[in-house]
């Protein structure tokens, strides 16, 4: 049986950023015990940006975690960054480990961890790499799967950026987890709104967005006294705040469960979109045929494929038409850039055939 149950949304993972003391863990767990938590989280080894900050309590904290499991019945998850962490985590009854964003970036390190996981029955969650690279994320997941781990999930925690004026601590780039879902449909994907927003006040908004998009669960940093947290103080919320967040969360269901009139409407809208797509492709084929004909004439008359003035005029007129229809001009410009590239490629075929 899988630890990650995709039927019950959201699959909820909560607990402090770091295990700081027995009391802090205990009080946080007490606050969470009435909530539908599937995994209790805490960092015991903390990868810190600069030396000298709190680096976690290591094995001592694992002892506290084991007590939490015994008393409250929570399954446990901790971050691992070294092969040795696996064995230590298992010794204290940890059920699931996660690979952090700063580890996922390094295939050597992920492979060491994967090797250490061989033969264990641990569940594993893989956070996205700090850089927005779907392949790297997928690659780390594949390494864990190749080690024989059956219970695997991905965690989306956003991506690093230079200077944050977007209001996020880490850019969500939602397109990346959506692409991961397309590539690996059977993989549960959870969202970590705490790291994406970096601000306690915005955690609920990002969590809701993740639910709207269709994520399976949430990992939310929860601390009994966030203000005095030793790590990530700004983004942790209290168990009471988590309860309010969960209360207000709108959970979207899978398509198949939607009933009645709305299902028909969705079906109608999808069929209409299919029809429009068919027309778009037919029109693109016609347009490309025109380019080919132009290419043929250009070939006969020693004219260049690329015509800057004509291309400039096309870009301008298409963008103003887009603006009139309230379409995003950058989107139309990017689309036409692709059309133009293909048109040039097509004409070059013609021109090259004339040279031979
Ligand atoms: C089609 C032509 O060749 C190129 C392709 C264009 C296009 O696909 O719209 C426009 C200008 C040229 O760079 C053309 O000369 O009209």
Domain for residue 58, yes or no? Answer: yes
Q: Report yes or no: 191 and 218 within 8 Å, Cβ to Cβ.
A: yes
pLDDT of residue 353: 75
162 plus 297 within the same structural domain = no
291 C-alpha to center of ligand 1: Å?
Answer: 7
204 plus 274 within the same structural domain = no
Domain for residue 233, yes or no? Answer: yes
Q: Return the ligand 1 atom nearest residue 314 CA.
A: 9
CA dist., res. 138 & res. 152, Å (int): 12
101 plus 194 within the same structural domain = yes
288 C-alpha to center of ligand 1: Å?
Answer: 10
CA dist., res. 82 & res. 99, Å (int): 9
In the block, tokens 């929570």 appear at: 74
Q: For each of the chain's 356 residues, which pLDDT tens digit applies?
A: 789 988 888 999 999 999 999 999 999 999 999 999 999 999 999 988 888 889 999 999 999 999 999 999 999 999 999 999 999 999 999 999 999 999 999 999 999 999 999 999 999 999 999 999 999 999 999 999 999 999 999 999 999 988 767 789 999 988 899 899 999 999 999 999 999 999 999 999 999 999 988 899 999 999 999 999 999 999 999 999 999 999 999 987 766 555 667 777 787 788 889 989 999 999 999 999 999 999 999 999 999 999 999 999 999 999 999 999 999 999 999 999 999 999 999 999 888 876 54
300 plus 237 within the same structural domain = no
242 plus 305 within the same structural domain = no
Buried/exposed code over 275-295 (b: 16+ C-beta within 10 A; e: otherwise): eeeeeeeeeeeeebeebeebb
CA dist., res. 60 & res. 36, Å (int): 27
Domain end position, chosen among 204, 225, 252: 252
Q: Return the ligand 1 atom nearest residue 287 CA.
A: 8
342 C-alpha to center of ligand 1: Å?
Answer: 10
309, 311, 342, 351, best to mutate for ligand 1 pocket (most atoms within 8 Å of CB): 311
31 plus 169 within the same structural domain = yes
Domain for residue 92, yes or no? Answer: yes
Q: Report yes or no: 91 and 122 within 8 Å, Cβ to Cβ.
A: no
309 C-alpha to center of ligand 1: Å?
Answer: 10
* Total number of domains constituting the chain: 2
282 plus 230 within the same structural domain = no
CA dist., res. 43 & res. 154, Å (int): 17
What CATH number does the domain containing 270 carry? 1.20.59.10
292 C-alpha to center of ligand 1: Å?
Answer: 10
What CATH number does the domain containing 173 carry? 3.20.20.70
Q: Supply the pTM of this predicted model.
A: 0.76
pLDDT of residue 25: 98
In the block, tokens 């492709």 appear at: 281
CA dist., res. 73 & res. 56, Å (int): 23
304 C-alpha to center of ligand 1: Å?
Answer: 10
Domain end position, chosen among 225, 252, 279: 252
Domain end position, chosen among 210, 230, 252: 252
Tally the residues of the chain: 356
Write the ipTM: 0.91
CA dist., res. 26 & res. 61, Å (int): 11
- Token pair of 296, please? 């043929």
The residue range of the domain holding 264 is 260-355
pLDDT of residue 259: 60
* Lining residues, ligand 1, CB within 6 Å: 291, 294, 306-307, 310-311, 314, 340, 343-344, 347
Domain for residue 325, yes or no? Answer: yes
152 plus 246 within the same structural domain = yes
CA dist., res. 334 & res. 248, Å (int): 38
245 plus 327 within the same structural domain = no
229 plus 292 within the same structural domain = no
79 plus 154 within the same structural domain = yes
Torsion sign (Cα): 99, 103, 107, 112:
negative
pLDDT of residue 217: 97
Domain for residue 119, yes or no? Answer: yes
Domain for residue 5, yes or no? Answer: no
Domain for residue 216, yes or no? Answer: yes
Torsion sign (Cα): 195, 199, 204, 205:
negative
328 C-alpha to center of ligand 1: Å?
Answer: 23
266 plus 180 within the same structural domain = no
pLDDT of residue 355: 57
Nearest to 201 by CA among 170, 225, 233, 235: 235
Q: Report yes or no: 150 and 187 within 8 Å, Cβ to Cβ.
A: no
Nearest CA to ligand 1 atom 15: 307
pLDDT of residue 257: 57
Domain for residue 1, yes or no? Answer: no
289, 318, 319, 344, best to mutate for ligand 1 pocket (most atoms within 8 Å of CB): 344
């Amino acid at each position: 049986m899988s630890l990650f149950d995709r039927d019950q949304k959201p699959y909820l993972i909560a607990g402090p950023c770091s295990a700081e003391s027995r009391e802090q863990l205990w009080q946080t767990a007490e606050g969470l015990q009435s909530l539908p938590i599937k995994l209790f989280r805490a960092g015991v080894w903390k990868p810190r940006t600069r030396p000298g900050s709190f680096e976690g309590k290591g094995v001592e904290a694992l002892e506290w975690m084991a007590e939490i499991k015994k008393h409250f019945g929570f399954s446990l998850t901790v971050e691992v960054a070294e092969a040795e962490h696996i064995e230590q985590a298992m010794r204290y009854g940890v059920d699931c480990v996660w690979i952090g964003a700063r580890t996922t970036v390094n295939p050597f390190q992920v492979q060491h961890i994967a090797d250490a996981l061989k033969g264990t029955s641990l569940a594993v969650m893989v956070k996205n790499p700090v850089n927005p690279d779907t392949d790297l994320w997928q690659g780390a997941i594949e390494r864990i799967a190749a080690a024989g781990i059956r219970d695997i999930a991905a965690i989306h925690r956003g991506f690093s950026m230079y200077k944050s004026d977007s209001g996020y601590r880490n850019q969500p780039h939602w397109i990346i987890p959506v692409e991961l879902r397309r590539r690996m449909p059977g993989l549960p994907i959870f969202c970590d709104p705490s790291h994406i927003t970096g601000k306690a006040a915005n955690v609920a908004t990002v969590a809701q967005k993740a639910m709207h998009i269709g994520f399976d669960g949430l990992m939310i940093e929860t601390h009994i006294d966030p203000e005095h947290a030793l790590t990530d103080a700004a983004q942790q919320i209290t168990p009471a705040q988590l309860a309010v967040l969960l209360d207000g969360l709108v959970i979207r269901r899978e398509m198949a469960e939607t009933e009645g009139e709305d299902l028909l409407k969705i079906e109608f809208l999808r069929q209409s979109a299919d029809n429009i797509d068919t027309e778009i492709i037919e029109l693109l084929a016609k347009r490309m045929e025109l380019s080919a004909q132009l290419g043929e004439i250009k070939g006969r008359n020693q004219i260049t494929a690329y015509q800057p003035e004509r291309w400039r005029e096309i870009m301008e007129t298409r963008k103003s038409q887009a603006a009139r229809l309230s379409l995003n001009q950058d989107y139309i410009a990017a689309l036409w850039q692709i059309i133009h590239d293909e048109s040039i490629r097509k004409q070059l075929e013609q021109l090259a055939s004339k040279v031979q």
